[in-house]
Amino acid sequence: MKLTAFVLFTLVAYQSICAQEPRETARSQSETASEQMINRGERPGDKMRASGCGDGSLLSETGTSDDNDERSSSLRDGTSVAKANAQTSPPGRSGDSALRTGRRPLIGLAKAGASIVDNTQKRKHNMSETTGIRKDWKQELSTEQYRVLREKGTEPAFSGAYYTHDEKGNYYCAGCGNLLFTSGEKYHSGSGWPSFYAPADKQNVRIQKDTSHGMIRDEVLCAHCGGHLGHVFDDGPQPTGQRYCINSVSLDFRQTQDK
């Protein structure tokens, strides 16, 4: 019995030693391979990850390295893309093109704003308030015509060219040529300005309230260009009972042939 027990014990010990030798050999080989990879500049976990290792503990230990690998790869890819773009981009459209493009809407808005201001000033100076006719009035009109027609001035009494004018014809706006009055409605009022008891066509003139100089009057304007003509009063002859008191400088007379 003692001999049998000793033999069995010996066999078990031998099997245990044989089982440990492969594990020690594999561990030694693994350590040697790891040292060789480190010497070559590689990391031992690379091959394990590349081989599709499913060990959760290994993956958790190497997770930081994976993140670093991904960031490094992204940086390398970004550098490659930047180089490729630099090689394929045409001259004059380099890296600052995006910035220039981004500024274009602001530049467009600034230009649009400046254009609106400029156009507003032009309209205020050169455009009729009634019809939108654009003219460079200071070039189109004489100094006195501009003062009366565009600045609502008044020529001195008894000084106008048409105050005692009795020829047959039509009176047009000196600014735009719109027909305003005819010699058939003209009469001598003794006021010092050409006077008419009616316009050639009521649609050709426009009446608006004038409160300048401390008075309330009815201002007469050219319905076409908005030029100031004079004022209308309710002290005229029949059949209208009105007196259109008009500045001569606002008028342009054209004689008609007698029939």
User: Which active-site residues does the annotation give?
Assistant: 245
Q: For residues 45 and 34, is the Cβ–Cβ distance under 8 A?
A: no
- Largest Cα–Cα distance of the chain, in whole Å? 167
How far apart are alpha carbons 45 and 49 in whole angstroms? 6
Residue (of 194, 144, 191, 145) closest to 165 by Cα position: 194
Residue (of 209, 224, 119, 232) closest to 172 by Cα position: 224
Question: Residues near 18 by Cβ (< 8 Å), separated by ≥ 6?
Answer: none
Q: For 207-214, which contacts have Cβ atoms below 8 Å and span 24 or more sequence positions?
A: 207/232, 212/152
**Alpha helix ranges (H) inside the chain:** 2-39, 44-50, 56-61, 63-88, 97-126, 137-140, 143-145
How far apart are alpha carbons 187 and 245 in whole angstroms? 11
Q: Which residues of 185-209 are buried (b: 16+ CB within 10 A; e: fewer)?
A: bbeebeeebbbbbbbbeeebbbeee
Q: Which one-letter DSSP state was computed for residue 155?
A: P
Going 5 to 8 to 12 to 14, the CA torsion angle's sign is positive
